[in-house]
Chain A
Amino acid sequence: MSLGEITRVSLAKDLRLEWRSKDAINSMLFFALLVVVIFSFSFDPTAEESRHIAGGIVWVAFLFAAVVALNQTWARELRNQVLDAYRVSPAPANALFISKAVGNFIFVAVLEALMAPLFMVFYNLRSIGPAYQLVVVAALATWALVANGTFFAAMSIRTRSREVMLPLILFPISIPALLAMVSATTAILTGEGAYRFWVVLLVVYDVVFTTVCLLLFETVLHAE
């Protein structure tokens, strides 16, 4: 089987599993909802200035929620030694990585699609800049989070207390991407600021880190 075919089969399996259990999406949704409510207590969410901080809150909520899904990515494969079976099979390692990353991308994108209207309502948001740009930023930002997140989740399953480990290694590396997505979102919502610069930064970040992930995933997968 080719790389594309293996990726498709593996992705279909993950989506089917998620469709039947809804483990990841339910826990992410509830978690993001809790973050929205908790943040609303720390400041006045309906004020006009809320537009300036909403970008930060939205992405911090999505980042924390994404970690919930990312942590479950490989835990599923550890049961019944599925990962060991994959290691000895002749299938290319990158097919597994791409399918997992795309799967996580879909989960987090669904979460964002469901949560975005809620944010608009709760925080009284209305975009001043063109709203379609938000979709572009969301897609680039989500990929930045899940590509590295999927990779680091595969690394953290080799550590003690792996659930704690993932955010500890993912967050420092993701800070420039987080800064870019927050600034881009704020620039669109307020209609001021350099939106283009941040999008370019996100694109370059995505390209560079996806390449490194693909180059090094086999090493991580086969690390004993």
Chain B
Amino acid sequence: MRRIFVILALLTFGLLSYALYEGMVAAPTEQTMGEVQRIFYYHVPSAITAFTLFLINFAVSIIYLARRNQKADALAVSTAEVGVVFCTVVLVTGPLWARPVWGIWWTWDARLTSTLLLWLIYISYLILRRYSTSGQTPVIAAVLAVFGFLDVPFVYLANRLFRTQHPQPVYFGGPGSGADPRMTYALLMNMAAFFCFAALVVWLRFRLERARQDFEETQALESLLQPDARSPR
């Protein structure tokens, strides 16, 4: 297991380095925005990774509610934590780009607001996990995950009425959309690299959570077997 992890980590590191080179050096500079456009190669892959992780979190939360499978809960924690990190990257890189291009750091546009609210919802999910007394945490957290995910369409709809300032999708946007093939290549490379990186971190966090669950189980079992011995906790 450890060897596979090291090999995957090395591969991910190589892919990230290559994608960094593609995004920063090989891809052509954008005509109107200039060098600052290159943040796009980090902003978009982070956003897609974060949304994918939240989607997985929703799916495994439902599996947990249906089957009470401990692995599903461990995966739910891992994806939520890593998803919040990637969502934070999106929220930080966005204003960095917006300041020189739009002239403002932040605007309450539909996509920005929705992402911020998504971030808030999953932060509250993590706070709930941290504060809840052990034993009931997975059930309550899974229920909140369902609520949080169902909230997303409402958040987006409610914000649609406000004027959207976020750039329209670059790809699949009808005629006139699309980008230089070198740019597309750099974006795809970064996307692949970010996905590998996220999968690696989630896997690590998942194993940690599984170890914690095993430890708790063993501890509970031991205290059952020796009722007079005080647990070290």
Contact = CB atoms under 8 A, between A and B. Distances in A.
A165 B65 CA distance: 22
B151 A173 contact: yes
Contacts of A204: 154
A208 B133 CA distance: 29
B146 A175 contact: no
Contacts of B155: 175-176
By secondary structure, the B interface counts as helix
B127 A168 contact: yes
Interface residues of B, number: 28
B132 interface: yes
A146 interface: no
A198 to B, nearest CB: 8
Contact of B132 (A159, A177, A212): A159
B154 A155 contact: no
B158 A158 contact: no
A155 B157 CA distance: 27
A169 B148 CA distance: 9
B102 interface: no
B176 to A, nearest CB: 30
Given A158-B132, A158-B136, A169 B154 contact: no
Interface string B132-143: 110110011001
B53 interface: no
Interface in A187-214: 194, 197, 201, 204-205, 208-209, 212
A220 interface: yes
A165 B128 CA distance: 7
A209 B153 CA distance: 12
Given A165-B128, A223-B139, A216 B158 contact: no
A41 to B, nearest CB: 25
Interface of B: 65, 117, 120-121, 123-124, 127-128, 131-133, 135-136, 139-140, 143-144, 146-148, 150-151, 154-155, 157-159, 161
9 contacts: A159-B128, A172-B121, A172-B124, A173-B148, A173-B151, A175-B120, A179-B158, A201-B157, A209-B150
| Shortest Cβ-Cβ A-B pairs, 6 listed | A176-B154, A176-B158, A223-B139, A159-B132, A172-B120, A223-B136
Interface of A: 148, 155, 158-161, 165, 168-169, 171-173, 175-177, 179-180, 183, 194, 197, 201, 204-205, 208-209, 212, 216, 219-220, 223-224
